[in-house]
Amino acid sequence: MLICDSAAALIGRSVGKIKIYKNKTLEGTVAFFVIAVIINLLFIPIYPFGVKSLVACMIATLAELYEDKIEIDDNLSVPIFFSVVLTWF
């Protein structure tokens, strides 16, 4: 969460041009997703990477993107959504 959120903010503010939702940019959102996938790939020896890992990364990205609609801080909502997807999928 720390790395993904930081990358999204840094890339979104520095090179982000395409606004997709309020102050969120496409570039920052893609950065969040890509970093989340890379971090998941680092855990292959512990947890196999597959479709559910990609879905969990996508859900975590959407939770971060729409944090104001969820009304829970993204530092809490992203790990919750991510872990729920990995547990129930």
Domain ranges, ordered by start, for the chain: 2-88
Q: What is the pLDDT of residues 30-65, one digit of tens each?
A: 999 999 999 999 999 888 889 999 999 999 999 999
Supply 34's token pair.
């890509």
pLDDT at 2 over 90: no
In this prediction, residue 67 carries a pLDDT of: 87
CB 33 within 8 A of CB 7: no
For the entire predicted model, the pTM comes to: 0.89
> Which residues 6+ apart lie within 8 Å of 11 measured at CB?
27, 28, 31
**Burial class (CB within 10 angstroms; exposed 0-12, middle 13-18, buried 19+) of 54:** middle
Q: What is the pLDDT of residues 11-20, one digit of tens each?
A: 999 999 999 9
pLDDT at 75 over 90: no
CB hemisphere CA count around 32 (13 angstroms) = 27
3-class SS at 22?
coil
